[in-house]
Amino acid sequence: MIPLCVPNIDEKEMEMVREVLESGWVAHGPKNEQLERDFAEYIGTKHAITLNSCTSALQLAIQAQGLNGEIILPSFTFVASANSIVTAGCKPVFVDIDYDTCNIDPSKIEEKINDDTVGIMPVHYAGQSCEMDDIMDIAEKHHLVVIEDSAEAIGAEYGGKKTGSFGIGCFSFWATKNMTTGEGGMLTTDDDGLAEQVRTLRGHGISSTTWQRYKERRPWIREAILPGYNYRMSNILAAIGIVQLKKLDEMNEQRRKHAEYLNKRLDFEAIEIPVESKKCKHVYQMYTIKVKVDRAKFVLGLREKGIGASVHFDPPVHLNPYYMNLGYRKGDLPVTEKVSSSIVTLPMYPQLRREELDTIISSVEDVLSDVESKDP
């Protein structure tokens, strides 16, 4: 069996976790501060704030700014992107995507902007940045906030600049991401006031952390200045993140090499391989193809052969029951719906061996032949 993804965890992460466990400080603590410093330096922002998930980062990016209105985003994303907008008290407005990159189509954004629009949430799909020059120009023209959903694009670049450094960056460290802490997220920003507000909201509305208070003369003083949440990442998970970040560029380079190998050999008429935009550095959090055969038969055929294929994302968010109740219908976003019905995710992770890549390729060829022979 070749699984869809396997986290790249070795003895270095285990040693770091052991250090934390032996210290006795397992809650939010000094490893969080270290990871935040390291991550901010890596992305190129003044602040990085550890959180328990990317979803929390997206929600706090909205709530900490007091936004109240409509936020434009693609529907071709995981439902968490839209859910964070709703839970933060705003309204998601979906626009269509570019067929080649599967990212939000900048040319569709302005037609959805009105007096109620407060922000744009570009979602960097599968490891490739959106067209950020166009998006930032639109945002500046209409005085809109940009919140980057960079869950799938840690280390990806646009014009030599890291995703998460254009607007407010929101990252995921879930198990399948380019770097992982098991669960966890990060918010990046250059705005001092926003950073302070997010830090306060993540810890019950208390402006100082437990670790900061521990070092003070009266550590028991805890005063809430806001009705906040418990969105903190533990010291244990942050320790894993410190090691993972050091390995990130090497892991991303392996993903790129694997993708290059697959791109050259998946030369079948019934398949469209990923497209990398000229200004982008794609880090292939997922390796996705589009198929021109019965997608369900194709995916199930691969899984029967031991290839952990899957689909990201079907249905698109606007066709989920909750969002259809808000008035969205099939046919509203034709490109999104076309991609959603044909996209397939193949296994992708740094540790894939050449023989496993060859097995994926031969299995794709075999299943395509089988499905095509049975299609009417």
Residue boundaries of the structural domains of the chain:
11-245, 248-374
pLDDT of 211 higher than 90? no
pTM to 2 decimal places: 0.96
pLDDT band at 223 (very low <50, low <70, confident <90, very high): confident
pLDDT over 70 percentage in the chain: 96
HEC readout, the chain: CECCCCCCCCHHHHHHHHHHHHHCCCCCCHHHHHHHHHHHHHHCCCEEEEECCHHHHHHHHHHCCCCCCEEEEECCCCCHHHHHHHHCCCEEEEECECCCCCCECHHHCHHHCCCCEEEECCECHHHCCCCHHHHHHHHHHHCCEEEEECCCCCCCEECCEECCCCCEEEEECECCCCCCCECCEEEEECCHHHHHHHHHHHECCECCCHHHHHCCCCCCCCCECCCCCECCCCHHHHHHHHHHHHHHHHHHHHHHHHHHHHHHHCCCCCEECCCCCCCEECCCCCEEEEECCCHHHHHHHHHHCCECCECCCCCCHHHCHHHHCCCCCCCCCHHHHHHHHHEEEECCCCCCCHHHHHHHHHHHHHHHHHHHHHCC
pLDDT in tens, 113-149: 999 999 999 999 999 999 999 999 999 999 999 999 9
- Residue 12 has a CB neighbour count (10 Å cut-off) of 14
Q: What pLDDT is attached to residue 148?
A: 99
Spatial contact of 165 and 45, defined as CB atoms under 8 Å apart? yes
pLDDT in tens, 269-284: 999 999 999 999 999 9
Per CATH, the number for 11-245 is 3.40.640.10
Q: What pLDDT is attached to residue 333?
A: 98
- How far apart CA 312 and CA 75 sit, in angstroms, is 12
pLDDT of 220 higher than 70? no
- Written out in words, the top-level CATH class of the domain with range 248-374 is alpha beta
pLDDT in tens, 333-345: 999 999 999 999 9
